[in-house]
Amino acid sequence: MNRRYAIAAAAFAALLLAVTAAKVLHVPISYVPWAAPSARAVEQRGPLSDGEKATIGVFESVSPSVVQVAVRSAANPLMGEEGQGGGASGTGFVWDRGGHLVTNNHVVANGGEIAVRFASGEVAEVDLVGRAPNYDLAVLRIRSVRELPPPVALGSSGDLKVGQSAFAIGNPFGLDQSMTSGIISALKRRLPTHGGREIANLIQTDAAINPGNSGGPLLDSAGRLIGVTTAIISPSGSNAGIGFAVPVDVVNRIVPELIRNGRVPTPGIGIVAAGEDVSTRLGLEGVIVVRTAPGSPAEGAGIRGVNMSTGAVGDIITAVEGKPVRRLSDLTDALEQAGAGKTVRLTVKRGSDSRDVNVGIIDIERS
C-alpha cells in the first residue's frame, strides 16, 4: 500500500512540475523567434472540377445580360431595397435585341421613374411597356444604351424534372450580380397574386432567393432561361429554401403579348374555385365550384356552386374538351390555351351525374 501511495505522489509531483514549467517557459506565439518574417508560400491547387467549370460558365455567359432594376417613387427619390422605403429594387434581364427587359410586375407596380444598372456599371433610363399582374410579369424598354448585352438564351419548362440543377442570378438586398445554385424542388406550384387570382404551374427551387432577386432569371445547367424568380416563402423575409419562379413557357407566351398590346387578356369563365386541400379532404377529384359570378358564362351555362346554406357541394369540373381536370391549374391552362372569345366543352359532375356543357371564355379583366 505504501508503494502505491509513493507512486501516486511521484506522478502528482511530476504533473505539478510540468504545469509550473509550462507557465514559466510559455512564450506567446507571435513572439516565437523562429517564426518566418515573410508571407507564406501559396499552395498550388489542381484544375477546377467539371462541375465548377460549368457553373462558372453559366455565370460568365448570362450575368452581363442581367440588370438591377430601381424605381424612384414620386414621394421619395431615394432608391431602397425591394419592399422597403423610398423605392423598389429588383432584377431584370435582356429579352431581345429590341432593348426589351423582363422583370416582375410587383417590382414596378407602384409607379415612378425606372432605371436599370448593367453589369458594366452603366445606368440607363427605361420605359414601362406593359404589365401582367396575374402572372407577376412586366416588360421594360431601354431608352438608350451604348452596347446592349445579348438576350438570355431560352430554354423550356415543359420538360423540367424535379432534382435537376437550377441557378439564380440577381441583386439580393441591392447587392448586384449575385449567383446562387440549387435544384428544382417541385413543379406545378400555385401562388396567390395581389389581384385575388393564382399563378399556376410555378417552379419551386431551393436556390437562395431573397428580396431584390425578384424578376431575375432562373437558369438550367446550360445557362438557358427556365423561369423568372418571383417570390419566396419565409417567416423572416429571407431565404428559407422555398422560392418560386414563373415558368419560361408562360413567360414566352405572355411577354410578346405585352410588347404588342401592353397587357394580356385573363381568360376565365366566371367561377370561384375551392383549393386543392378542400377537394382532397372531401375525397373528390376535379375543380369544386364555390360560386359563379353574376352574369358570367358559367352562370349562363347553369353551373352551380356550393349551397351556402347547407354546405352541400354543387358542381365539380372534371374535364375540358375530354381532357381530365384534376386541379385548378389544369383548368386555367386549358382556358389560356383556348383564349378569350372561344368556347370550351366542360364535363361537370353534380352528385353521381355527369354532363357536358359549352361555356364561353371571356377576358375577366374587362368583363
- What CA dihedral angle connects 316, 321, 324 and 326, to 10 degrees? -50
Q: Catalytic one among 63, 65, 100, 106?
A: 106
Distance (Å, whole) CA 205 – CA 141 = 29
Instruction: Specify the length of the chain in residues.
Output: 367
Report the C-alpha gap between 143 and 100 in whole angstroms: 10
Catalytic site residue 38?
Answer: no
Nearest to 161, CA basis, from 128, 131, 204:
204
Q: Which three cell numbers stand for residue 174?
A: 441591392
Q: How far apart are CA 4 and CA 91, in angstroms?
A: 78
Q: How many H-runs (helices) and E-runs (strands) does the chain carry?
A: 7, 20
136 is catalytic: yes
Catalytic residue among 65, 89, 136, 330: 136
> Among 223, 212, 276, 213, which Cα is nearest to 248's?
223
Sign of the alpha-carbon torsion through 211, 212, 218, 221:
negative
Residue-wise burial string across 205-229, b where 16 or more C-beta atoms lie within 10 A, e elsewhere: bbbbbbbbbbbbbbbbeebbbbbbb
Tell me the C-alpha distance between 284 and 315, whole Å: 11
Neighbours of 137 (CB within 10 A): 26
Please say if 96 is a catalytic residue: no
Beta-bridge partners for 346: 320, 357
- Among 63, 89, 157, 214, the active-site one is 214
Catalytic site positions: 106, 136, 214
